[in-house]
Amino acid sequence: MNNTEKLRTWLPLALGLVVLPTLNANAAFVMSLDDLSDAAGPTIIYDGSGSDFGGPLGVITYSGAIGSFNVNVTTGVSKPIVGPTTLDLNSINVTGASGGTLVVKITDTDFTGDYEALAAAFGGTTNGAIDIDFLYDLNNGEFTGTSFAGGSHVASTGNLSFSNDLWGTVLPGEPFSLSIVATIHHNNGGELTSFDATIAPVPLPASALLFGSALAGLGLGWGAKKRRPGR
Whether the predicted model's global pTM rises above the 0.85 cut: no
User: What pLDDT is recorded for position 10?
Assistant: 45
Cβ pair 90, 75 in contact under 8 A: yes
3-state secondary structure of 141: coil
Q: Domains in the chain, start-ordered, CATH in brackets?
A: 27-225 (2.60.120)
Q: What is the pLDDT of residue 83?
A: 83
pLDDT at 2: 55
Strand partners, 149: 134
List the one residue out of 198, 121, 199 whose CA is nearest residue 162.
Answer: 121
pLDDT per residue of the chain (231 residues) written in tens, 0 to 9: 554 444 444 444 443 333 333 334 444 899 999 999 888 899 999 999 888 888 899 999 999 999 999 999 999 999 999 988 999 999 999 999 999 999 999 999 999 999 999 999 999 999 999 999 999 999 999 999 999 999 999 999 999 999 999 999 999 999 999 999 999 999 999 999 999 999 999 866 555 555 555 445 444 444 444 444 444
- CB-based burial of residue 130 (10 Å sphere; 0-12 exposed, 13-18 middle, 19+ buried)? buried
Can you give the pLDDT at residue 54?
82
Phi, psi (5° rounding) for residue 31? -115, 145
